[in-house]
Amino acid sequence: MCRSCLVVDDSKPMRTAIKRTILRAGFNDLKILEAKNGKEALSLLKSTPIDLIITDYNMPEMDGLEFITILKGKTGYKDIPVLLMTGEINEARLNKFKNIDVAVQIPKDIRPEELKPILSSTLNESV
């Protein structure tokens, strides 16, 4: 079974860095797709099955909070695990994610060896 991950971030270099980190963590069999914001991600989800979403918080058009809120409100998508990868440090802003079923919050500068157990655990739960 081919598993897929959707990386949602408005920065192309950051999406590339996240993909590289996933691959370096040993997930070479994971099909990695990209979207530049929540709006584009929702559109992609209509035509592509996704097993895991890694999203940024701060993005134009539709930020991570709005994206995850809409995603979790849709029957076909609400069980997709979501990892929030953000550079946001404001605890009050990050607390908004606690009520919308975000699997885990991780820093953007996470190393492959730190990401590996998180992805393993998250993907095993969703497969």
CATH number at residue 31: 3.40.50.2300
* More confident call, 101 vs 54: 54
Which structure tokens are listed for 83?
């990892």
CA distances from 116 to 23, 27, 29, 88 (A): 10, 8, 13, 22
List pLDDT tens digits, range 23-37. 999 999 999 999 999
pLDDT tens-digit series, residues 93-109: 667 666 676 767 788 88
Beta-sheet pairing, 4-8 with 31-35: parallel
| Local confidence band at 114 (pLDDT 50, 70, 90 cut-offs) | very high
Closest CA to 71 of 35, 107, 43: 43
**pTM for the full model?**
0.88
What pLDDT is attached to residue 48?
Answer: 92
Lowest-pLDDT choice from 44-53, 67-76, 104-113? 104-113
Contact 89, 44 (CB under 8 A): no
| Domain with 106 in it | 4-126
Q: How many domains does the chain have?
A: 1
